[in-house]
Amino acid sequence: MKKYFVLLIITVFFLLLPKKVMAAQTADPNALPVTKNLLDYFYSLPGKTSKKFISGQNIGGTWDWSRYDQYITSVHDKTGIGKYIAIVAIDGDDLNGNDPTVLITHWQRGGLISIANRPFTSPSNPIPPPSDFSDLYTPGTDYYQHFIDVLDSEAVFLSKLQSAGVVVLWRPFGEMNGNWSWWCNQDKNEYIQLWKYTFRYLTKTKQLHNLLWVYSPIFAYSYKWLPVSYYYPEPDSDNPNGYVDIVGYDYYHYYPDFVKMKYDYDTLLKYGKPFGLTEFGPDDVPSTHGTHWYDYSTLLTGLVANNLSQVTFFLSWRDDWSIINQNGTSALMNSNLILNAGDLPNFNLSPILTPTYTPTPTSSSCSLKLLGDFNCDLKINESDLNALLGKWMTNLNDITGDNIVNESDLNKLLGNWKAL
């Protein structure tokens, strides 16, 4: 049995060895290296036991950059913190003519950027939404030109970020399975066509390769909304890589119901993409409960305790829902589970190796009853290999620390294993 186990480890090692960097495939086949590196990093987070959840905060639209200080700087300046929230999220309903310096500065201090694409919702662009949804992507219609004008103005803003080396978590037409925005509850095929048209226009026509495409419906389980997977744009012959890089859902609820959260979580995980809470609010009736009643640090422990540990980030909504306006801010920002700005690697440098497995949880208090029983189930089988490789690949394969993945790492790994 031991010989079989060693041979199995060697076989898997050499299957993985030819590619020193197992980069995740971005939806945009021409994505910049920095874009690919960031996606790789998201894939790596579920295998970690600490520093695994990236903090995030929505600050509103680009019409008022003072909100950065209101929601981000205020957390940094709070006694005992001295850290910036990692992801700054804005509403991209009025990007035209705006200066992205605040976002560039945040990226340069080690943060990330998320933009929700919400065309025809800006007060400065009072064009009503189309009555025929397909007009948006049908050349020759008035709304087609309106939509192209919006995409062109957004592309100017996004290209400034691209020139500065900034990657954007781009969330077009979110909460599409609800019923409150003009793009919600539309014909399934027409919505998917709009998503794909937008993807092709921004990546091919406008040559924007700094976007990670985020699919973000509203949490639907036990509600009347359409299923979270209903509008998902599947890969096709035009783009076998697909049209989505990251999946997640927006979740608002009086005290998070982690048991119910897992249903839609499992549904979206089937696509094999990194998962995030693309919007989060601890109360759907802020006028009833207001500020300073929810302990934000319980979000992290709740995700772990309820087997939602493949969540990679969360974006808190602004106003009463925000991190600064609720309790547990210091505990959240200082948690060993959280990643804040400055904790993240420099994505312009070396690529991040991506685990190509689902980590098998192991108990730190377990002692080996059988040699090789790494997941402590009193059996010797493939699950033990997964448990062992989980620790190995979480450390990015470079066991010896020489910045090269080769046979010396296998020898080191097997040496540690045989010592048990």
Whole-number percent of the chain with pLDDT over 90: 57
Tell me what pLDDT residue 1 has.
55
Residues 13-29 have a mean pLDDT of 63
Provide the 8-state DSSP code for 26: P
4 vs 173 pLDDT, higher one: 173
Residue 354: which pLDDT band, with cuts at 50, 70 and 90?
very low
pLDDT in tens, 136-146: 999 998 889 98
Whole-number percent of the chain with pLDDT over 70: 73
Domain extent for 195? 33-339
- Determine contact, residues 96/105, Cβ cutoff 8 Å: no
φ/ψ (deg, to 5) at 346: -80, 105
298 vs 22 pLDDT, higher one: 298
Question: 20-29, 191-200, 209-218, 321-330: lowest mean pLDDT where?
Answer: 20-29
The secondary structure element, H or E, covering residue 292 is none
Residues 237-253 have a mean pLDDT of 95
The reply to whether 347 falls in a domain is: no
Which residues have CB under 8 Å from 133's CB, separation 6+?
183, 186, 187, 190, 191, 194
Q: Are residues 17 and 42 part of one domain?
A: no
Tell me what pLDDT residue 382 has.
56
Measured in whole angstroms, how far is the alpha carbon of residue 318 from the centre of its chain?
19
Residue 14: which pLDDT band, with cuts at 50, 70 and 90?
very low
Q: Are residues 272 and 208 part of one domain?
A: yes
Q: Are residues 38 and 17 part of one domain?
A: no
The Cα–Cα gap between 188 and 165 comes to 35
3-state DSSP assignment of residue 53: strand
- Determine contact, residues 254/289, Cβ cutoff 8 Å: yes
Alpha helices for 215-305 (secondary structure H): 258-269, 286-289, 297-305
DSSP notation for 298-365: HHHHHHHHTT-TTEEEEEE-SGGGSSTTSB-HHHHHT-TTEE-TTTS--TTSSPPP---SPPPP--TT
Q: Are residues 363 and 249 part of one domain?
A: no
Provide the 8-state DSSP code for 255: S
pLDDT in tens, 51-64: 999 999 999 877 68
User: Domain total for the chain?
Assistant: 2
Q: What is the CATH number of the domain that holds 47?
A: 3.20.20.80
The reply to whether 324 falls in a domain is: yes
Tell me what pLDDT residue 118 has.
82
Residues 159-177 have a mean pLDDT of 96
The reply to whether 344 falls in a domain is: no
Q: Are residues 42 and 14 part of one domain?
A: no
Whether the predicted pLDDT of 20 surpasses 50: no
Whether the predicted pLDDT of 308 surpasses 90: yes
The Cα–Cα gap between 246 and 342 comes to 22
Which residues have CB under 8 Å from 231's CB, separation 6+?
176, 177, 188, 191, 192, 195, 217
Query: Which residues make beta-bridge pairs with 117?
Result: 92, 172
Q: Are residues 364 and 325 part of one domain?
A: no
Q: Are residues 148 and 71 part of one domain?
A: yes
Q: Are residues 320 and 378 part of one domain?
A: no
- The last residue of one of the domains, among 304, 339, 374, is 339
- The last residue of one of the domains, among 279, 305, 339, is 339
Q: Are residues 318 and 282 part of one domain?
A: yes
The Cα–Cα gap between 111 and 411 comes to 37
Measured in whole angstroms, how far is the alpha carbon of residue 261 from the centre of its chain?
16
Residues 392-416 have a mean pLDDT of 51
The secondary structure element, H or E, covering residue 36 is helix 33-44
Q: Are residues 93 and 10 part of one domain?
A: no
Q: Is 248 exposed, middle or buried (0-12, 13-18, 19+ CB in 10 A)?
A: buried
Indicate whether this model's pTM tops 0.85.
no
The reply to whether 18 falls in a domain is: yes
Q: Is 148 exposed, middle or buried (0-12, 13-18, 19+ CB in 10 A)?
A: middle
Q: Are residues 187 and 269 part of one domain?
A: yes
The reply to whether 348 falls in a domain is: no
274 vs 63 pLDDT, higher one: 274
The reply to whether 28 falls in a domain is: no
Q: Which residue in this structure is represented by tokens 């005992």?
A: 80
The reply to whether 45 falls in a domain is: yes
Q: Are residues 148 and 51 part of one domain?
A: yes
The reply to whether 250 falls in a domain is: yes
The Cα–Cα gap between 420 and 417 comes to 5
- The last residue of one of the domains, among 339, 373, 403, is 339
Query: Which residues make beta-bridge pairs with 60?
Result: 90
228-234-26-15 Cα dihedral, nearest 10 degrees: 100
